[in-house]
Chain A
């Protein structure tokens, strides 16, 4: 089963 990623894995916090 694929796991849900979060946006923080892709986008930098600024």
Chain B
């Protein structure tokens, strides 16, 4: 049997908001160590990799490894029934056909239960090699979301150029061009407000704005986002999820033919 209880149920709601527009369906792989999800969008341009460690849950039990294929639109409907301050418990039998979501109010006066049918999904797991990235940027997630939103008004693609002096995001389109430069922060009171660049060599890559905007839907999960870039390899955009895990997005670059 599988059971995972999360007092901060709002986290699971935010996680779903962060992936539901990229993926129509996904497999949640549950094991003793925790829950993992890896899935590509339909066009195979981006990939979501989610890890939730068992020790981050308030209660976690997984007797046998199981894979739960879920339609994320259906899961979103169910999560909308959960209040932001409610406790979420996910439950399933071994070899399940359904998963149950139980929502409890903080004082225990109200309990709602929703059972959702599971799907058999073909799994396209990708082996992602360990990479030493040429540039790793940590920056406020809200700033990244704003830059993606602002620049995507101008064009479909965004160029991210990272050097030791800073990062430049730029775009161009029919109405003109736009760019935003961020310098590395020299001193900050709060680490989450800093722009920090770890650079081995400068990198310039081009990405589709629509995916970056989709990744930015994870902003409520973390005040900080990290961008890892190397020449001619997919970008990694990572949001840590409190003490429980992370969501990482991989995005294939646009490359010259």
When A2-B206, A2-B254, A2-B255 are in contact, do A7 and B127 touch as well, CB less than 8 Å? no
Cβ–Cβ contact A14 & B125, under 8 A: yes
Cβ–Cβ contact A13 & B126, under 8 A: yes
In whole Å, how far is A9's beta carbon from the nearest beta carbon of chain B? Answer: 7
A8 to B46, CA, bound (A): 10
Could you write out 6 A-B pairs with CB less than 8 Å apart?
A: A4-B254, A6-B44, A6-B45, A7-B234, A13-B124, A13-B125
Number of A-B contacts (CB under 8 A): 55
Interface centre among A3, A4, A8, A9 (most CB of B within 10 A): A4
Closest 4 pairs (CB-CB, A-B): A2-B254, A11-B126, A5-B252, A6-B44
* The residue from B127, B129, B252, B257 contacting A9, defined by CB atoms under 8 A apart: B252
A2 to B47, CA, bound (A): 20
Chain B: residues with Cβ within 8 Å of the partner, total of 24
- Which chain B positions have C-beta within 8 A of A13? 124-127
- Residues from 224 to 257 in B contacting A, C-beta threshold 8 Å: 233-234, 250, 252-257
Closest chain A residue to B43, Cβ basis: A6
Digitize B113-128: 1 where CB-to-A-CB distance is under 8 Å, 0 elsewhere. Answer: 0000000000011111
